[in-house]
């Protein structure tokens, strides 16, 4: 198979900002699909961050509630723990 081009043939060459040869840029459809995938990934990452912050907040509030319950029980518990005999 002969891949040599004849002199004067047109050749399309893509270059980057530094002038180096690079691959052809994506088509509009490919770029839109990639943007959609990246946007969905960013939305999922943000949702995970929000859910994680909510879980951390609920954990801290629950811990505070249990500690407060323990302090309250320390005050009331002795009234109920007397032994009859």
The arithmetic mean of pLDDT across residues 44-73, rounded, is: 97
Does residue 82 surpass a pLDDT of 80? no
The pTM of the full predicted model, rounded to 2 decimals, is 0.59
Task: Count the Cβ atoms, other than its own, within 10 Å of residue 68.
Answer: 10
* Host H or E run for residue 51: helix 28-80
Task: Count the Cβ atoms, other than its own, within 10 Å of residue 53.
Answer: 10
Does residue 55 surpass a pLDDT of 60? yes
């Amino acid at each position: 198979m002969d891949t040599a081009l004849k002199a004067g043939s047109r050749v399309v060459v893509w270059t980057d900002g530094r002038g180096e040869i690079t691959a052809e840029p994506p088509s509009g459809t490919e770029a839109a699909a990639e943007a959609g995938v990246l946007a969905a990934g960013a939305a999922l990452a943000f949702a995970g961050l929000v859910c994680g912050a909510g879980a951390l907040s609920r954990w801290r509030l629950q811990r505070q509630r249990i500690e407060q319950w323990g302090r309250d029980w320390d005050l009331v518990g002795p009234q109920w723990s007397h032994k009859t005999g």
